[in-house]
Amino acid sequence: MSKTIAILAPGAMGSAVARRLSENGARVLTSLKGRSEATQQRAADAGMIGAEDDAIAGADIILSIVPPGEAEALAERLAGLIVKRAKKPVVVDCNAVNVDTVRRIEEIIGSAQAPFVDGGIIGFPPQPGGKSPAFYMSGEHAKDLAVLRDFGLDIRIVEGPVGAASALKMSYAGIVKGLAGIGSAMVVAATKAGAADALRDELALSQPAILARLEVALPDMIPKAYRWVAEMHEISGFLGPDHPASQIYEGFAKWFEHLAADAKGEAVDAALLKAFAAGVAKKKA
């Protein structure tokens, strides 16, 4: 039996998830109001149907997949759309937000008497013929999302309340993106000090797994750095203001903000990161 699923918004992850769902028989809606021509084309290519607010509110499931800083505002909008409807959609926040944020979102959606699920996505956007990223779900209504397995998504239920899935996402991203932040900062510093080759050689000898990770992570992070800024603030909030390590992630937020600005400008540091990664590949060849 088909399902109508609304995805807001049709970004890189949202449109790729929509393509996977539509390829497996789901009807996928999105809102295209005010969207650029490129975004509208991406949505069309993914099989998404541009829909008015009433149709969005009438979906069986609504997946919120937006930058972390936009998650609460979208929840407010969704609550306003569905509050008067007799049949309520299951609303899933799939964003990289901390536990306090997702609980506020739960309250917002709860004010419209709609079932709410806390979600966390780990992995890359699904590619045609490839595997789905993991969708971790928690909360009272998480098991209602198991149906999405029938439409090609890797749904994993986390036993626990709303906040458990987001805690997992924050912890995982804090480790993986934290390593990218540390690695990129040290590679740039070493390169500017003339020690890039020596650092690469030492890592190859004593930390080959870390070097292999950096070879992939450094060039991959450059176009994504702007999206990671808000996520670092969320991870800092997840730790809490009194946690000694929270400032580490505030520092990463500033570093990723710098890298994003650099990539849009003269790309000085971006070139250093790419050169280091290329040097790793050259040594292996």
Q: Quote the CA–CA distance of 183 and 269 in Å, as a whole number.
A: 13
- Domain end, chosen from 160, 195, 221, is at 160
Mapping DSSP to helix (H, G, I), strand (E, B) and coil, where does residue 221 land? helix
What are the tokens at 190?
A: 């070493």
pLDDT band (50, 70, 90) for residue 26: very high
- Domain end, chosen from 160, 191, 212, is at 160
E strands, the chain, are 4-8, 27-30, 49-50, 61-64, 90-93, 116-122, 134-138, 154-157
Task: Name the residue among 209, 223, 205, 214 with its Cα closest to residue 186.
Answer: 214
Task: Name the residue among 90, 38, 94 with its Cα closest to residue 68.
Answer: 94
Assess whether 236 and 278 both reside in one domain.
yes
Assess whether 188 and 114 both reside in one domain.
no
pLDDT tens by residue, 177-218: 999 999 999 999 999 999 999 999 999 999 999 999 999 999
Mean pLDDT of 149-178: 97
Mapping DSSP to helix (H, G, I), strand (E, B) and coil, where does residue 248 land? helix
- Domain end, chosen from 138, 160, 182, is at 160
pTM for this prediction: 0.92
Q: Quote the CA–CA distance of 170 and 138 in Å, as a whole number.
A: 14
pLDDT tens by residue, 217-251: 999 999 999 999 999 999 999 999 999 999 999 99
Q: Quote the CA–CA distance of 105 and 111 in Å, as a whole number.
A: 10
H or E, element range at 110: helix 99-110
Domain region containing 110: 4-160
